[in-house]
Chain A
Amino acid sequence: GQNIDQPTEMTATEGAIVQINCTYQTSGFNGLFWYQQHAGEAPTFLSYNVLDGLEEKGRFSSFLSRSKGYSYLLLKELQMKDSASYLCAVRDSNYQLIWGAGTKLIIKP
């Protein structure tokens, strides 16, 4: 079966750095996405990785290792507005998106 694993919940402090991990087992690989979802709202696109390595976008970076089936999302200089769920999704060989259940990130002052 296809599977995406993420921690259910993480807590971090305003101004700090947090790393949210995602491991996946899918039928093929055609890219990995990270989305941010605030409570009661729709997911919004954050990043896309298809090659190994780090992609940096402002305070957010995403890393991919295809050989390990592993990705992480790194959030720097955390702000209260970063409190949200972060969903990892992998596109498989059929170009279907397989979604993780998301990691709820709680930011404390």
Chain B
Amino acid sequence: DAMVIQNPRYQVTQFGKPVTLSCSQTLNHNVMYWYQQKSSQAPKLLFHYYDKDFNNEADTPDNFQSRRPNTSFCFLDIRSPGLGDAAMYLCATSRGAQGVDTQYFGPGTRLTVL
């Protein structure tokens, strides 16, 4: 089945220790998104790629970086995680076409910062 896969599902890191979250998709979608979601809050868009074009949200901290080496994979790097970065990180994809252009989400990675 075509899908969006995120690894790992749960990640524990130490304060200040770099961490990388990964996302892959078999949908062959043009657009990949990274969201941060804290408990009972709306998903917050960090950045997205349209093909190789990177789009950073204005309020995304510099501590967060992303890489998309090919159509299928996208990575979220947190250079120096702080306690406030503990959250669910959601990867999503969409075709990037006009019209509905539904976003399809992976299962998420829950990040704990000790």
B100 contact set on A, CB distance < 8 A: 31, 48, 50
Which bucket holds chain B's interface residue count? 10 to 19
Chain B interface main SS type:
loop
Interface residues of B in 86-106 (CB under 8 A from A): 88, 90, 100-106
Taken together as a complex, chains A and B put the C-alpha atoms of A99 and B105 apart, in Å, by 14
Query: Contacting B105 at CB < 8 Å: which of A44, A50, A91, A102?
Result: A44
B residues at A contact (CB < 8 Å):
40-45, 88, 90, 100-108, 110
- By a beta-carbon cutoff of 8 Å, the part of chain A in contact with chain B is 4, 8, 31, 33, 40-45, 48, 50, 85, 87, 91, 95-97, 99-102, 104
Please name 12 further chain A to chain B contacts, defined as beta carbons within 8 Å, in addition to the given A42-B105, A85-B40, sorted by A numbering: A40-B88, A41-B107, A41-B108, A42-B107, A45-B102, A48-B102, A50-B100, A96-B45, A97-B103, A99-B44, A100-B42, A101-B41
